[in-house]
Amino acid sequence: MEVFNNIPVDLETDKVLKFIGMRGGNQQIEEIVQELVEVARSVARPKVVYKVSYIDSKNGDTVTIDGVRFTSRVLRINLDQVERVFPYIATCGTELEEMAVPSSDVMKSFCFDAIKTMVVRSAITYLSNHLIEYYALDKMSRMSPGSLESWPLAQQKELFSLFGDTEELIGVRLTKSCVMVPLKSVSGIYFPTEITFESCQLCPREKCIGRRASYDTELAKKYREATV
């Protein structure tokens, strides 16, 4: 198990404005973002914990990793030729989460939410680059509980059980409804692959701000019909 708590944060006003789709032309929003960026830079401490885990068994729609059984047809298929995986939890950090922004100020809250999203994404990118370089991996993909109907959010409990006291490790806790706190946290499993996989390819939901790939009807059909 390894913890990263000194992850570089690349926050620039222009990048935040581009991320929220409001680059240029609105001085008020630019001033709000600049103010938030300056504060966030001094406060943000994104963190990641990950571990190297091995698959014990694969059976039907289940896969057992380090003694913990996960139930997901898509995950099971994706790990069919895999023996070593990298479970992880990444977060924007409690420091940024606790930064006070008036909820009544809708625009400022919106901009700050975007900044926290960018910070947690930087943590995931940092982890991805580390795994590829350190373990000499050519290509990786990842899946997260709750990203697909095939792998429900309730399986966060199983994933978190692989790490022990996550709140002590990186300040992330799991609520009874399996929501992570801080909210801008991401968990999942990285795995080596020859063909890049994105959960978005199997999700037909339109207008999703987090979409990383287009819905692929043929790929979705292959997963439904695949023999496991």
- Per-residue pLDDT for 27 more than 80? yes
- Domain ranges, residue 118: 2-198
In a domain, 204, yes or no: no
Cβ proximity of 182 and 172 under 8 Å: yes
Query: For the segment 89-137, what is each residue's pLDDT rounded down to a tens digit?
Result: 999 999 999 988 887 889 999 999 999 999 999 999 999 999 999 999 9
Is 208 contained in some domain? Answer: no
The answer to the question of residue 82 being in a domain is yes
Predicted pLDDT at 216: 62
Reported as a single tens digit per residue, the pLDDT across 197-213 is 655 566 666 655 555 66
Confidence band of 193 (pLDDT split at 50, 70, 90): confident
211: in domain:
no
**Tokens for 167?**
């709140």
Query: In sequence order, what DSSP letters do the residues of 47-90 get, joined into one string?
Result: EEEE--EEEEEEETTEEEETTEEEE-HHHHHHTTT-SEEEEEEE
Query: Looking at residue 189, which CATH number applies to its domain?
Result: 3.40.109.40
Per the CB < 8 A criterion, the answer to whether 157 and 91 are in contact is no
User: Does the residue 12 lie in any domain?
Assistant: yes
- Residue 227: predicted pLDDT: 52
**Residue 203 located in a structural domain:** no
Structural domains counted in the chain: 1
**What is the reported pLDDT for 51?**
98
pLDDT recorded at residue 75: 92
Percent of the chain with pLDDT over 70: 84
**Residue 206 domain-assigned (yes or no):** no
Q: Are 114 and 19 in contact (CB under 8 A)?
A: yes
pLDDT at res. 125 = 95
**Model-level pTM?**
0.85
Does residue 46 belong to any structural domain of this protein? yes
pLDDT tops 90 at residue 226: no
